[in-house]
Amino acid sequence: MRYLKIVVAVLIIILGVVFVLQNTDLQRPIRLGFDPMFLFHGLTQKADQGAGEASVPAGQGETGTPGQGGEGAGIPGFILIFIAFFVGVLAASFYGIMEKYRLKRMIKASNQRTGELEEELKKLRNLPLTQPTTQPTMSPPRLAEPPFEPEEHEPAEPPAKAEDR
């Protein structure tokens, strides 16, 4: 199983390299920008356009194409793909590590509970099977005959059905 994981990982890396080499457009620099006040700019632009002023939307340069403004640095596209891939790997690794420690704590608690139950079982096994009981000092009076005589009943006939009437 270990070797299978290594082979699959190598195949994925080879496919990634082939993908990058075949897509030469990914080597072209891409400009990225980030404007945390994007929503605020959008609201103020609507107000400005309502007043008759024309404005260029946030994040667009003079040509009007998104992301081509002067606010970001040019980064090749394949680098962006690799960065996104490694961020995903880091996020998955972090989740896996957290899950591992959560399961370790659960196993530790389960083992501790098992130990407590085994100790209790040992104590219960060492108890004597019969415990000494104290005899009552006064016993209830015995009756010579039952307090009532059971009456003999004949089986009752079932009620007649409506069809028989």
CA angle 98/99/103 to nearest 5° reads 120
Helix (H, G, I), strand (E, B) or coil at 66: strand
**What is the Cβ-side half-sphere exposure of residue 60, based on CA atoms within 13 angstroms?**
11
Q: Is the pLDDT of residue 51 over 60?
A: no
Q: Band the pLDDT of 38: cuts 50, 70, 90.
A: confident
Query: What's the average model confidence in pLDDT over 130-149?
Result: 64
Q: How far apart are CA 67 and CA 24, in angstroms?
A: 20
The pLDDT of residue 68? 45
Among 1, 3, 59, CA closest to 31: 59
Q: Which residue in 35, 69, 32 sits closest to 44, CA to CA?
A: 35
**Kindly report the CA angle at 126 between 121 and 131, in degrees rounded to 5?**
115
- pLDDT surpassing 90 at residue 2: no
Alpha carbon distance 143, 116 (integer Å): 51
Q: What is the structure's pLDDT at 65?
A: 47
Percent of the chain with pLDDT over 70: 58
Q: What pLDDT shows up at residue 67?
A: 45
Q: What pLDDT, on a 0 to 100 scale, did the predictor assign at position 118?
A: 95
- Cα separation, 71 vs 69, in Å, equals 6
Task: Give SS3 for 13.
Answer: helix
pTM of the prediction?
0.43
Mean pLDDT of the 23-41 span: 75
56-110 pLDDT, tens digit each: 454 444 444 444 444 556 788 778 888 888 999 999 999 999 999 999 999 999 9
